[in-house]
Amino acid sequence: MPVSTKSLLRKFLIWKYKHLSEQQFIYILSILVGFLAGIGTVTLKNLTHYIRLLFELDFLKNYQNSLYFVFPIIGLFLVYVIKQTWLKKHIGHGISSTLYAISKLNGIIPRYNIYAALITAPLTAGFGGSVGLQGPAVSVGSALGSNAARLFHMNTKTRMLLIGCAAAGAMASMFKAPIAAIIFAIEVFSLDIAFTSLVPLLLASVSAVVTSYMFLGTDILLRFQLTDKFQVNDIAFYVVLSVVTGLASVYFSKVFFAITNFFKQFESRAKRLLIGGVAIGTMLYFIPPLYGEGYGIMNNLLKGDHLAAIGTTPLDLDLSNIWIVIALLLGISVFKAIAMTTTFGAGGVGGVFIPTLVMGSALGNAFAKIINHIGLGFHVSESNFTLIGMTGLMAGVLHAPLTAIFLIAEITGGYELFVPLMIVSAVSFAITKYYVSHSIYTLKLAERGELMTHDKDQNVLMVLDIDKVIETNFITLTPEMKLGEILNEAVAKSSRNHFPVVNDEHEFLGVIRLDDIRHMMFDNSLYDKVDAASLMHADAGIIDYDADSMHDIMEKFKTTGAWNLPVIKKGKYYGYISKSKLLTAYRRQLIKFTK
């Protein structure tokens, strides 16, 4: 930062300390962060839109089917070049990376996250990658929120709150749904529901929505006005749909993890690009609606125009046959998850949120068409079931039932559908939760013990840095050392009463405590007769640096009753953790969380 800029910032901070309370300044920052998140989201949407205009060029229209195959590969190649030659950094999935930053990095997000997704996500989605922009929008907004907090020297708790404000702002700007955005931030980012956090979320959400209106006018992503009333007679069908969407959510999640693991076996990014690019191109060639985010599918299905939603396919199919239409819609539902994850595997950058809605809309619409044409005399609203299908998939895949309910209700004016929204959201979430313990965003973090939740005690343990509580100034012994050598080379030179015994490979064998040798310390006749191997014994427990979380470590102290436990790192002795030092670090972190 230039000297003049630093000087201005210093003067501003001095003025702020004199004239504004901490809470007032947080309110101002939340408005600023909401505005910045809105700008980032608007930029993402516009860049993607301008890239898609390439398809509208006259000389390309005659080759559209072929371009469905070629364009995604071009977009992925451009992202690959940018990553390899310019960014040279990993770009994670937006929401997962933000959750990791909150839980393990004290809310510190690198500055490059501000522009990395801003460039690569439009290239991925604009050229046809089957991903959404909500995740990248959250990534951009969260990076802006984190760095704004660091610029003005805000504490860790405020930094995390501003990240939540940015996430709410990104969602509010994307969908023009400020209430759902606040619920999203609370539900997905596990923010405390308190007045002190709710007001900044409200301000950020409103600020982002106003920003979106300023730059995009009244244009919204999902254009639908509820016309069909909720019918009590349809409840049985909604219950069945909730089970279907629950199972579909399990399928979506399982496919995501399976394909992700498949691509992980290829170390070469170029090989991933080649395999993934060809696979995506093939899927888009035969199923064009999988191209890009998929708002066209949702909007056309909500309008009742399934022919426009399906588009032109290279297959010579009779689209006047409703069962062929239903089969194609189910095909979109099945392959959207595959196409999305393959895009990620090939190196694309995007989000999961929108593809989830697309899959849900196709599934809900197909379900309604089956009811209406099965020949049993039933008739349901296809547009309503399209909405409810979106809700079910969102609740299940994202493990965010409240966000699902309020987002669909808010963006469509569908508050009259609250009963089926709640039924489908609850059942779909429950089914998915039974088979998939965590969402796509959080599963890997939860497996590593790095997931922030509403459990404050668990959160404090999670953010503790193990390296700050490990003590390494213990003198080590070898099994061959005699008692006299132990006393002269270890006991006499150490203030500790623990002496770990290791072999030539520095593997931990056991421990000798001062109490173990106190009774023989002054018996000179034993100095050359007794060795460390005969004196050492196993410790009460062992901490694995690479595998044990802070919660695991605390449990080991609780179950063993020990006050000191050895730490093993990559199979080698590394140091000791004392219960007193761990509890002191815990107390300090708890104060930071609650003040």
Helix (H, G, I), strand (E, B) or coil at 281: helix
Under DSSP, the state recorded for 85 is I
Length of the chain: 595
In the block, tokens 């993607």 appear at 48
Domains in the chain (CATH in brackets) are: 3-216 (1.10.3080.10), 232-457 (1.10.3080.10), 463-594 (3.10.580.10)
* Helix, strand, coil share of the chain (percent; to 5): 70, 5, 25
Q: CA 64 to CA 42: how far, in whole Å? A: 27
In the block, tokens 């080379």 appear at 489
SS3 annotation, 352-419: CHHHHHHHHHHHHHHHHHHHHHCCCCCCCCHHHHHHHHHHHHHHHHCCCHHHHHHHHHHHHCCHHHHH
Q: CA 111 to CA 334: how far, in whole Å? A: 37
Alpha carbon 439 to its chain centroid, in Å, reads: 9
| Kind of pairing between the strands at 543-544 and 564-569 | parallel
Q: CA 398 to CA 381: how far, in whole Å? A: 26
Which pLDDT tens digits describe the chain residue by residue (595 residues)? 555 677 787 777 777 777 777 788 888 899 999 999 999 998 998 898 888 877 666 555 555 666 777 888 888 899 889 888 887 777 766 677 777 777 767 778 888 888 888 889 999 988 888 888 888 888 888 888 888 888 887 887 788 888 889 989 999 988 888 888 888 888 877 665 555 678 888 999 999 999 988 887 656 666 666 677 778 888 999 999 999 999 999 999 999 999 988 998 888 888 899 898 889 888 888 888 888 888 888 888 888 888 888 877 777 777 788 999 999 999 999 999 999 999 998 888 888 888 999 999 999 999 999 999 988 888 898 888 999 999 999 999 988 899 999 888 887 765 778 889 999 999 999 999 999 887 777 766 655 555 555 555 565 556 667 888 888 888 888 889 988 888 888 888 888 888 889 998 888 888 888 888 888 888 788 888 888 888 888 888 888 888 887 778 888 888 888 888 889 998 899 888 888 888 877 777 665 555 5
Q: What is the pLDDT of residue 217?
A: 66
Torsion of CA 121, 123, 127, 133, to 10 degrees: 20
Q: Provide the residue type at 404 as one letter.
A: A
User: Is 236 buried (19+), middle (13-18) or exposed (0-12) by CB count in 10 A?
Assistant: exposed
Q: Which of 142, 155, 226, 222 is nearest to 184 (CA)?
A: 142
| Kind of pairing between the strands at 508-513 and 572-578 | unpaired
Q: CA 404 to CA 183: how far, in whole Å? A: 9
Q: What is the pLDDT of residue 295?
A: 81
Strands of 564-569's sheet in order across = 470-471, 572-578, 564-569, 543-544
Q: CA 452 to CA 291: how far, in whole Å? A: 34
Q: What is the pLDDT of residue 451?
A: 54
Residue 297: other Cβ atoms inside 10 A: 28
* pTM (two decimals): 0.77
Q: Which residues contact 72 (CB under 8 A, 6 or more apart)?
A: 127, 128, 129, 130, 277, 280, 281, 284, 291, 343
